[in-house]
Chains A and B, each alone.
Chain A
Amino acid sequence: MKCQYCEKPATFHITELTEPNGPKVMHLCEEHARNFLQKEATSPVASVAGALAKQLQLGQTKAELEELDQKECPVCGISFFEFRNTGRLGCPYDYSFFESDLIPLLTNIHDATEHVGKRPRRLAASADSQARMIQLRREMEEAVELEDYERASEIRDELKRMESDLNQPAPEETANGNEDEANSPEGEDQS
C-alpha cells in the first residue's frame, strides 16, 4: 500500500476514532507520519516568520516591508530586519518603538493584543523610563571603559534613584517623607 501523500510504501496505519462517524484509517510513509506528528512543534523563529509572512499576504507591500526592515530601535539598535530573522527582540523598548508593526504579529500569534492576568505589585516603570535606564547603564559602562569613574558613579546614583522611585507598591503612597523626594520623575523627560 502506498502513502496517502507520496509514492513511498505506507508503514504507518493510524486509526482515528471519530466518535459519531466510526473509525477512519490513515496510511502514511514514515516521513509523512513524522512530519504530521512534528507539525505542532514549531520554533519561535518559525512562528514569528510564519506570522510575518501572513502579515505580508494581508496587504503589506514589499516596498513597505523593505522600509520597515531598516527601522532601528534607538535604545538597543536592533533593526526590524534582524528581529525578523532571529525572532528575538533587542530590548523592552522595542514593544513601544515597533508597536504598530508588532500588533498584527501579536494578533497572528496570540489572537489577542492585550495582557490579561498578573501584574507586578510594584509600580511598573513607564516604557520611557525603562528605556532611559538601559541607556544610562550603557553610558555607565562606557564611562568605566574610559576610566571616567566620577561620571560612572554619577550615573550609578541616578540609576539607583530611578529604581527606588519604582520600589514602592502601586498605586498608593507610603507615608514616608524620604520617598516624596524620590518620587519626582527626574530622569523621565531626558530621553
Chain B
Amino acid sequence: MNQETDFNALARNSGEWLRGTGPESDIVISSRIRLARNLADFPFIRRCSDEDRDSIERTVRARMEAIEDWNDIRYIDIEELSEIDRQFLVERQLISREIADADGSRAVAMDPGEQYSVMINEEDHLRIQVMQSGLDLDAAWARIDSLDDQLEGSILYAFHEKYGYLTACPTNVGTGLRVSVMLHLPALVITRQIEKVFRSMQRINVTVRGLYGEGSQYSGDFYQVSNQVTLGHSEKALLSLVGDEVVPQIIQYERKARAFLVEQNQQDLHDDVSRALGILSTAKKISSEETMHYLSKVRMGVNLGLIDDVELATINKLFIHTQPAHLQKLHGRMLGSSDRNVQRASYLQRHLHGEQGEGEFN
C-alpha cells in the first residue's frame, strides 16, 4: 500500500488507546506494555552490519506476514519516511524517538486500531508494544503475551536459561518487560503534592517521567510510571507492582486532591477551567506548550463535571493532534512555527466548538 495515503488516513483518526474509556480513565490515560526481544542468530544492533539489519528486517517482516491473525497489519519502512512522518509516528507514540533518529534499515508494524506495534531494529531487534485505554494491564498483558507467542512460533529468540530474554542493554534483560501507565495529575500539581508521589516512587523501584519529555512539570501534568527492574520478578509480579500497588495509590492521592480543590474553592476552580476552555476555543494563535497547559485544565474540568459539553476522547485526541507533525499532516504541508500557532488555534476552535454548541463562550 502507498505509504503517503496511508499516513493521511492515519492523521485523521486516532488510536483506540485515546478513547478515554477503560478503568480509571479520568486519571489514567493509557496502559502500555512493551517487550524487548532479539533474534538468536544475529549480533545485537550495535554490532550489526548493514546486511544484518536488512536481513533482520526482511526475516521478521516475512514471518509476521505469515501469521494468519495479522493479515490486516500495516508495515511501515521508517528508513524511507520523511522527517515529518517520523515525527508524526513519534507524536502518536507508535515509535520511539530513538528509532526515528537512527540510521539504516528499520521499520514498524502496527494494527489499524493502533493497539499494538512492533518496532524492528530499535535498540533491540524487536520491541513489541501494546497500548490500552485506561488502567487495564491484564488486558494489555493478555494481548502482548499472545503476540509474543505468535512471533516466537517462527522466530528464534535469544534466550538464556539463567538470564532469560537477552537484550542489548542489561537494564532490560530477563523479562524484557516495561510496563508504563500514563497518568494525568493536575490536582497533585496544583496542590504541590506531586513531590510526595515522586518520593514514594523512589522507595519502590518504579520510575516516573513527564510525558512530553521536556523535564518541566508544566508540560500538561502528565506523568508516566514504569517498572525499573526487569530481572528476578515474573511478568505478573511486575504488572502487579505498577498496576495494583503504585498506580492505585497515586490515583487515590489525585482524587483526594481534586476533592480538596472542589471543596475549598469550587468557584475559583470553575473559573479557572472555564477560562482555559475559553482561551482554547477563541485564541487566534497558540503555542504547543500553552495548548497543553490549558487542555490539561479543561480535561480536569470535564472529569469533575465542571465542563459538561466536551468529550474526554476529544480532549485526549487534541493533545496528540495539536502537536507539530500532526498539524502539518492534517494541513497537508510544512508550516513554520508561527503558522503552526495559527493553524493550531483554528484546529482547536473547530473541534471545541463542534462539541459545545454555539456561542457559549463568545
Q: Which residues of A contact B (CB under 8 A)?
A: 13-18, 26, 34, 36-38, 40-42, 44, 47-48, 75-78, 86-92, 95-96, 102, 105-106, 109-122, 124-125, 127, 130, 133-134, 136-137, 141, 159, 163, 166-167
Q: Which residue of A lies closest to B145 (CB)?
A: A118
Nearest-neighbour CB distance to chain B for A139, whole angstroms, equals 12
Tell which of B41, B161, B175 touches A134, judged by Cβ atoms closer than 8 Å.
Answer: B41
Tell which of A105, A118, A122, A137 touches B41, judged by Cβ atoms closer than 8 Å.
Answer: A137
Say whether A113 contacts B215, CB under 8 Å.
Answer: no
A113 vs B163: C-alpha distance when bound (angstroms): 7
- A-contact 0/1 string along B32-44, CB 8 Å cutoff: 0000001011111
Q: Name 13 extra pairs, CB < 8 A, besides A48-B170, A124-B157.
A: A48-B171, A77-B47, A88-B44, A88-B123, A91-B44, A91-B47, A111-B232, A113-B162, A117-B237, A118-B234, A137-B41, A141-B51, A163-B156
Q: Which residues of B contact A96 (CB under 8 A)?
A: 160
- Which of B185-232 touch A at CB < 8 Å? 191-196, 198-199, 201-202, 207-210, 215-217, 229-232
Nearest-neighbour CB distance to chain A for B12, whole angstroms, equals 33
Say whether B164 contacts A117, CB under 8 Å.
Answer: yes
Say whether A44 contacts B171, CB under 8 Å.
Answer: yes
Say whether A127 contacts B41, CB under 8 Å.
Answer: no
Q: Which residues of A contact B44 (CB under 8 A)?
A: 76, 88-92
Nearest-neighbour CB distance to chain B for A154, whole angstroms, equals 16
Q: For the complex, is B10 an interface residue (Cβ under 8 Å from A)?
A: no
- A-contact 0/1 string along B137-148, CB 8 Å cutoff: 000000001001
Say whether A109 contacts B43, CB under 8 Å.
Answer: no
Tell which of A34, A87, A159 touches B216, judged by Cβ atoms closer than 8 Å.
Answer: A34
Q: Which residues of A contact B47 (CB under 8 A)?
A: 76-78, 90-91
Say whether B41 contacts A106, CB under 8 Å.
Answer: no
Say whether A134 contacts B156, CB under 8 Å.
Answer: no
Q: How large is the interface on B (under 10, 10 to 19, 20 to 34, 35 or more residues)?
A: 35 or more
Say whether B157 contacts A120, CB under 8 Å.
Answer: yes
A159 vs B40: C-alpha distance when bound (angstroms): 11
Tell which of A77, A92, A121, A122 touches B160, judged by Cβ atoms closer than 8 Å.
Answer: A92
Q: For the complex, is B311 an interface residue (Cβ under 8 Å from A)?
A: no
Known: A137-B42, A141-B49, A163-B156. A48 touches B169 (CB 8 A): yes
Nearest-neighbour CB distance to chain A for B169, whole angstroms, equals 4
17 contacts between A and B (CB under 8 A): A17-B196, A40-B198, A41-B215, A87-B169, A88-B45, A92-B166, A95-B166, A102-B170, A110-B231, A113-B231, A115-B174, A117-B164, A125-B156, A130-B41, A137-B42, A137-B55, A141-B49
Say whether B231 contacts A76, CB under 8 Å.
Answer: no
Q: For the complex, is B158 an interface residue (Cβ under 8 Å from A)?
A: yes
Say whether A120 contacts B41, CB under 8 Å.
Answer: no
Say whether B234 contacts A37, CB under 8 Å.
Answer: no
Q: Which residues of B contact A75 (CB under 8 A)?
A: 43
Say whether B234 contacts A41, CB under 8 Å.
Answer: no
Say whether B160 contacts A105, CB under 8 Å.
Answer: no
